[in-house]
Structure 1
């Protein structure tokens, strides 16, 4: 795949980027693409596809509500409280 200025401009537009040195960016992107094109030369004919690198499936916990038992411990560590409520800085001006 050839990286050119038109492609870089389109990528910059989509990503809302402003690229100062386009030629340097083109050269670096071309090096990355060339490196990944090496994978096309790898013989994978006798290799079975993998969908995950892990052989066993993940064991999931049982789905259910669990009450948190140390609520007061959280409240004690909070700098400001008012009754059962935790006071945080306002976000509105």
Structure 2
């Protein structure tokens, strides 16, 4: 289905948007609007009574069991951190006590 945007409609839209377009901008905008409207006609073929799809994932979304995984790079991270205290990483305080 071919959708045509008239020059009158385009001028009306320009006025509503308070725009003054150059002729080449007007041609480009007209082409873009026609492409959008043509794409929107695809929705005419959509069956609104189709079965509702909650998620495209078909497998069960049951939570998995927690597993303990040993992290072997903690020493490397600690060595690269700017400030440490023993085996702890020292970070700036974010809570200030009220006096």
Normalised TM-score (structure 1) = 0.45
Point out which structure has higher relative CO (alpha carbons under 8 A, 6+ apart): 2
Q: Which has the larger radius of gyration?
A: 2
Normalised TM-score (structure 2) = 0.42
